[in-house]
Amino acid sequence: MKNIIKHEQLGEIVYEESFWTGKKNITINGKTAEKLSKTEFRTESGEKISVVGNFLAGTKATIGSRAIELTPKIKWYEYILAVLPFVLIMIWGNIVALCKIVPIVGGAIGGLISGIFSMLNLFVIKRVRQVWLKILITVVALGLTFLACYLVALAILSVAA
């Protein structure tokens, strides 16, 4: 994940964090900072950079005496949007009357599927700035989660019948 920050004193700061490994890189005005450890860097001018946090929790860097937010924290409504696919499947999968209308898999399998879609939803909406687009992405995630749980339920029912 890559985030570009325009700082009034330091100029353009590019922060990169690997989704899979958590490896971090910082570039200030096109010059890559020397990596001292996993969370510490040094600029060309010798200033020490300490990075705290990660993409989801929010990342802050201390460059010299300045504290700079590299990635924002997750907002309260992003948490709510992220868990909606999980909540939908847990509620629908536990109400027999709803499962008679449209069968979906619930329980551990439904929880696993909806948990995966919830985390994917969180990663995607965290990268988007517009709230309306976050809501639209969540609606798509809800639909895909429901479809996946419905198809798994149909597969289980066809084997059981």
Q: What is the distance, to the nearest Å, from the Cα of residue 30 to the centroid of all Cα atoms in its chain?
A: 27
Q: What pLDDT score does 66 carry?
A: 83
Residue ranges of the alpha helices (H) in the chain? Answer: 76-93, 96-101, 107-127, 131-160
- End-to-end Cα spacing for the chain: 46
Residues of the chain with pLDDT under 70: none
Q: What pLDDT score does 91 carry?
A: 95
Q: What pLDDT score does 131 carry?
A: 95
CA atoms within 13 A on the CB side of 28: 20
Q: Render pLDDT for 119-149 as a digit per residue (tens, 0 to 9).
A: 999 999 998 989 999 999 999 999 999 999 9
* Residues 64 and 58 sit within 8 Å (Cβ to Cβ): no
Q: What pLDDT score does 127 carry?
A: 87
Which residues does residue 134 pair with via DSSP β-bridges, in sequence order?
A: none
Q: What is the distance, to the nearest Å, from the Cα of residue 146 to the centroid of all Cα atoms in its chain?
A: 20
The Cα–Cα gap between 158 and 112 comes to 21
For residue 37, give the 3-state DSSP assignment: coil
Residues 6+ apart with CB under 8 A from 157: 103
Q: What pLDDT score does 109 carry?
A: 95
Sequence-distant contacts of 50-53: CB under 8 A, at least 24 apart:
51/24, 51/26
Q: What pLDDT score does 58 carry?
A: 86
Q: Count CB atoms within 10 A of the CB of residue 149.
A: 26
